[in-house]
């Protein structure tokens, strides 16, 4: 029977008309979603790879030049996270020093953000940078802004010919003759401190020595630098004392400024970033202006730093402006205010725990002063006191970390490496001073390390509390005099012991530029049985 094609029914026609395009399956949806996610991942991976390649290149700078380097991490390199500061920057730099030393390196390279920083480790390399090859490293590379932040343009920060010219003019300021002229003023401030200690100790009160020494330093600098009676002990909220506190107060805003000016100085200059708080700057500018106007109008002459600046201003062919005078007076204040107070603070802390050393210092003071007046010359005869202060400066250098800037391409001696112009150089003073190779058992307080015999055995650049070379601290002699006078007055009249309120171990302030403690040092002062030293 022949095959016959079946006839379509009406229902079949309807079904054909009603057919729709096939819908996407779940597999197709998964595929499209996978493709979309893949595109997103690619978009994320490519920039990540590019960023990684950028940092890898940046963090290979020292390796490519044959200089040992530390492993760096994104984005701060070997530097700290400015938003999460757990220890002082100078302690971090000391840690780098310790790593390079433990590996036997004489120098090394680190990265602060993406900027390569050179570190000198060996004392001979440090000597090259600070003294022998100084012509390549005469700038510090620290931030200053003459227009927007005039007080920052002081001797410590200035660069090039401006620094050289000002340094030459100020060097005669700190001769022995000038120190002797300022000595009576300084001694008067010390006796005011002594009166305050007498008052508090008579009540059997433990004493927050850091606050007392802050008042003493404020009075000394206020008198010797500005010719003003600050009376910090009688007027605790005096303007000088308040501005001194504000200047060194650790705040988040200040930490952020430090990070910015240290890492992006040129951008900060263009943006007019102000490092010194405006209220502090205005205070010092007004004080200097008023002092100069008063003295010139009334023909007043005093044996102090301000008078020296005024005389220099009048003799100078290129007259110094009020702002330039104020900047130099300001650096005298910040250099002498915190550093001397901190040194006496740590020295008393150590002597309070070492009664034999304390008594030996007291005996020397008595031996010298029983036959002569308390003068600048008598202070210079106290050699064991010098040893005690040097040991304090070794263990607690007020400025624990220094920087220099390479001003001209420099071939590092004994290598084929050329240090490029503008490259930053770090020197860890704290690392040197606590290096067990130079100072065995470095945590021990031992003034005998600085006997003439022991000093002669060490490399001179293993002890540099005031820097070295042409750019060392110009006011170190004044700072030492201030420190000695304070210690002599206190130790001749009191036995010092540690009060149980002092929290041990001491904790350093993590956001401070200078070495200072976060916790207070409480001391007990017991009167020594002889008449109080008078001016």
Q: How many Å apart are CA 171 and CA 25, to the nearest integer?
A: 88
Q: What is the pTM of this model?
A: 0.87
pLDDT at residue 129 is higher than 80: yes
How confident is the model at residue 123, as a pLDDT?
97
Phi first, then psi, for residue 57 (nearest 5°) are -65, -45
How confident is the model at residue 78, as a pLDDT?
92
Cα–Cα nearest to 485, from 259, 149, 300, 223 = 223
The lowest-confidence range among 37-41, 159-163, 301-305, 330-334 is 37-41
Q: What is the pLDDT of residues 393-445, one digit of tens each?
A: 999 999 999 999 999 999 999 999 999 999 999 999 999 999 999 999 999 99
How confident is the model at residue 16, as a pLDDT?
47
How confident is the model at residue 532, as a pLDDT?
43
pLDDT at residue 5 is higher than 60: no
User: Residue 419 forms beta bridges with which residues?
Assistant: 410
Tell me how crowded residue 441 is: count the other CB atoms within 10 A of its CB.
7
The lowest-confidence range among 18-22, 136-140, 423-427, 451-455 is 18-22
Domain membership flag for residue 28: no
Domain membership flag for residue 94: no
Select the more confidently predicted residue: 222 or 350: 350
DSSP H helices, 264-321, are 265-271, 278-298, 305-315
139 Cβ contact partners less than 8 Å away, ≥ 6 residues apart: 159, 160, 163, 404, 405, 407
User: Residue 93 forms beta bridges with which residues?
Assistant: none
Q: Confidence class of residue 24 from pLDDT cuts 50, 70 and 90?
A: low
Domain membership flag for residue 4: no
Q: What is the dihedral of CA 345, 211, 173, 405, to 10 degrees?
A: 70
- Alpha-carbon Rg for the chain in angstroms: 32
Domain membership flag for residue 535: no
The lowest-confidence range among 13-27, 117-131, 210-224, 496-510 is 13-27
Q: How many Å apart are CA 216 and CA 221, to the nearest integer?
A: 9
Contact 405, 423 (CB under 8 A): yes
229-238 contacts, C-beta under 8 A, 24 or more apart: 231/192, 233/192, 233/193, 233/195, 233/196
Q: How many Å apart are CA 84 and CA 497, to the nearest integer?
A: 36
Q: Is the peptide bond before 428 cis (omega within 30 degrees of 0)?
A: no
Cα–Cα nearest to 326, from 278, 291, 295 = 291
Tokens of 76: 């701060």
Contact 525, 518 (CB under 8 A): no
CA angle 231/329/88 to nearest 5° reads 85
For residue 462, the enclosing domain spans 126-527
The lowest-confidence range among 22-31, 97-106, 268-277, 516-525 is 22-31
Q: What percent of the chain has pLDDT over 90?
A: 51
pLDDT at residue 36 is higher than 80: no
Domain membership flag for residue 76: no
Domain membership flag for residue 442: yes
Residue 11 C-alpha from the chain's centroid: 95
C-alpha dihedral sign at 286, 288, 292, 298: positive
How confident is the model at residue 338, as a pLDDT?
80
Q: How many Å apart are CA 426 and CA 483, to the nearest integer?
A: 27
Q: How many Å apart are CA 344 and CA 358, to the nearest integer?
A: 13
Domain membership flag for residue 201: yes
Tell me how crowded residue 171 is: count the other CB atoms within 10 A of its CB.
10
How confident is the model at residue 17, as a pLDDT?
47
pLDDT at residue 498 is higher than 60: yes
Select the more confidently predicted residue: 417 or 46: 417
DSSP H helices, 353-418, are 355-369, 376-380, 383-395
Q: How many Å apart are CA 463 and CA 357, to the nearest integer?
A: 21
Q: Count the domains in the chain.
A: 1
Q: How many Å apart are CA 22 and CA 57, to the nearest integer?
A: 54
Domain membership flag for residue 419: yes
Contact 532, 198 (CB under 8 A): yes
Q: Confidence class of residue 20 from pLDDT cuts 50, 70 and 90?
A: low
Tell me how crowded residue 287 is: count the other CB atoms within 10 A of its CB.
23
Tell me how crowded residue 359 is: count the other CB atoms within 10 A of its CB.
13
CATH number of the structural domain spanning residue 329: 1.10.630.10
DSSP H helices, 138-208, are 160-170, 176-201
Q: What is the pLDDT of residues 228-253, one digit of tens each?
A: 888 888 876 677 777 777 776 767 77
Q: How many Å apart are CA 153 and CA 326, to the nearest integer?
A: 10
Q: How many Å apart are CA 358 and CA 365, to the nearest integer?
A: 11
Q: How many Å apart are CA 286 and CA 284, to the nearest integer?
A: 5
Pairing of strands 424-428, 115-120: parallel
236 Cβ contact partners less than 8 Å away, ≥ 6 residues apart: 215
Averaged pLDDT of the chain:
86
Q: What is the pLDDT of residues 68-124, one digit of tens each?
A: 999 998 888 998 887 787 888 999 999 999 999 999 999 999 999 889 999 999 999
DSSP state letters, 64-121: HTT--B---BTTTBTS--TTS--S-HHHHHHHHHHHHHHTT-SEEEEEETTEEEEEE-
- Does residue 160 come out as left (phi exceeding 0), alpha (psi in the -120 to 50 range) or beta? left
Q: Confidence class of residue 54 from pLDDT cuts 50, 70 and 90?
A: confident
371 Cβ contact partners less than 8 Å away, ≥ 6 residues apart: none
pLDDT at residue 3 is higher than 50: no
Contact 394, 449 (CB under 8 A): yes
């Amino acid at each position: 029977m022949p095959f016959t094609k079946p006839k379509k029914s009406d229902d079949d026609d309807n079904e054909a008309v009603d057919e729709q395009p096939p819908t996407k399956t779940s597999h197709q949806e998964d595929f499209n979603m996978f493709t979309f996610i893949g595109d997103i991942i690619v978009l994320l991976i490519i920039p990540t790879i590019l960023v990684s390649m950028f940092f890898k290149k940046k963090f290979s700078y020292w390796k490519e030049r044959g200089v040992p380097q530390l492993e760096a991490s994104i984005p701060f390199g070997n530097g700290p996270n400015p938003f999460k500061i757990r220890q002082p920057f100078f302690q971090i730099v000391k840690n780098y020093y310790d790593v390079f030393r433990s590996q036997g390196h004489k120098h090394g390279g680190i990265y602060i953000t993406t900027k390569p920083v050179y570190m000198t480790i060996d004392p001979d390399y440090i000597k090259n940078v600070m003294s022998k090859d100084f012509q390549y490293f005469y700038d510090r590379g620290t931030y200053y802004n003459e227009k927007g932040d005039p007080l920052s343009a002081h001797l410590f920060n200035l660069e090039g010919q401006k620094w050289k010219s000002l340094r030459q003019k100020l060097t005669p300021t700190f001769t022995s003759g000038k120190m002797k002229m300022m000595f009576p003023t300084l001694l008067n401030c010390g006796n005011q401190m002594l009166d305050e200690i007498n008052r508090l100790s008579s009540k059997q009160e433990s004493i927050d020595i850091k606050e007392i020494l802050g008042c003493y330093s404020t009075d000394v600098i206020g008198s010797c630098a500005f010719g003003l009676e600050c009376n910090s002990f009688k007027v605790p909220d005096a303007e000088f004392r308040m501005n001194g506190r504000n200047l060194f107060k650790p705040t988040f805003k200040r930490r952020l400024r430090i990070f910015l000016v240290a890492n992006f100085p040129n951008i900060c200059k263009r943006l007019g970033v102000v490092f010194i708080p405006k209220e502090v700057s205005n205070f010092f500018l007004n004080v200097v202006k008023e002092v100069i106007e008063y003295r010139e109008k009334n023909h007043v002459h005093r044996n102090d730093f301000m008078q020296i600046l005024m005389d220099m201003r009048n003799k100078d062919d290129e007259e110094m402006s009020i702002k330039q005078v104020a900047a130099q007076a300001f650096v005298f204040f910040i250099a002498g205010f915190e550093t001397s107070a901190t040194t006496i603070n740590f020295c008393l802390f150590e002597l309070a725990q070492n009664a034999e050393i304390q008594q030996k210092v007291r005996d020397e003071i008595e031996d010298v002063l029983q036959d002569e007046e308390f003068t600048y010359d008598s202070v210079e005869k106290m050699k064991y006191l010098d040893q005690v202060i040097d040991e304090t400066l070794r263990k607690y250098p007020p400025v624990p970390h220094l920087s220099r800037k390479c001003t001209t391409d420099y071939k590092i001696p004994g290598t084929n490496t050329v240090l490029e112009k503008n490259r930053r150089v770090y020197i860890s003073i704290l690392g040197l001073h606590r290096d067990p190779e130079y100072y065995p058992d470095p945590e021990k307080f031992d003034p005998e390390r600085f006997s003439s015999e022991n000093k002669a055995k060490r490399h001179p650049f293993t002890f540099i509390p005031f820097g070295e070379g042409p750019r060392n601290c110009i006011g170190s002699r004044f700072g030492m005099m201030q420190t000695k006078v304070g210690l002599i007055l206190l130790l001749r009249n009191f036995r010092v012991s540690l009060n149980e309120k002092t929290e041990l171990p001491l904790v350093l302030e993590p956001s401070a530029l200078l070495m200072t403690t976060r916790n207070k040092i409480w001391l007990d002062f017991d009167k020594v049985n002889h008449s109080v030293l008078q001016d």
